[in-house]
Homo-oligomer: A and B are copies of this chain.
């Protein structure tokens, strides 16, 4: 069997094992057995547990970014881009729960080298969303005075919320990718829209609700 194919199998097994057991609790034995090869071969190709895990992070990062990228329509309005991107994101994380676990749960909590690796991808997503929100804001009627920092913060929060929702959707049976995306848009975008329309919540801002 050619090396590239074997490596793919190894990464598949590793993502599955890491995703289900966690980094420390996963064992090289189990991964090798899952592939059906001997441990030395895994070491020959991937060198160490650490490098194997990093390879997993990289592959899953690229796969996720590719899925989201493939999901957006280049020329569409910004909010439609966001919507389709979110659907693609939730669809991908739902189809690859172990890969998502590697990126979201494990990479950020298993030591610095791994966290750094996944932060790259996250930053790329945040930058992309920042661009979308900024564009929307600029295009908007009566564009509100959102600073660049505000926009960046919104993007961070939106990505954070999406990540959280992805984990939640994976844990909650019966939640489709579209529903997760709709929830986020329902929940966040209307708020975003109002924010962008210049509204801010204060202790009194919702008083009308209680009249």
Contact = CB atoms under 8 A, between A and B. Distances in A.
Interface of A: 22-25, 77-80, 83, 101, 105-106, 109-110, 136, 139-141, 153-154, 156-157, 160-161, 163-165, 167-168, 172, 182-183, 185-197, 199-201, 203, 205-211
B190 A201 contact: yes
Copies of this protein in the complex: 4
A111 B207 CA distance: 44
A189 B187 contact: no
A132 to B, nearest CB: 12
B164 A185 contact: no
Nearest to A175: B153
Contacts of A201: 182, 185-186, 189-190
Nearest to A143: B209
Contact of A190 (B79, B154, B199): B199
Query: Nearest 7 CB-CB pairs, A to B?
Result: A164-B164, A24-B24, A191-B191, A24-B25, A190-B191, A190-B194, A140-B209
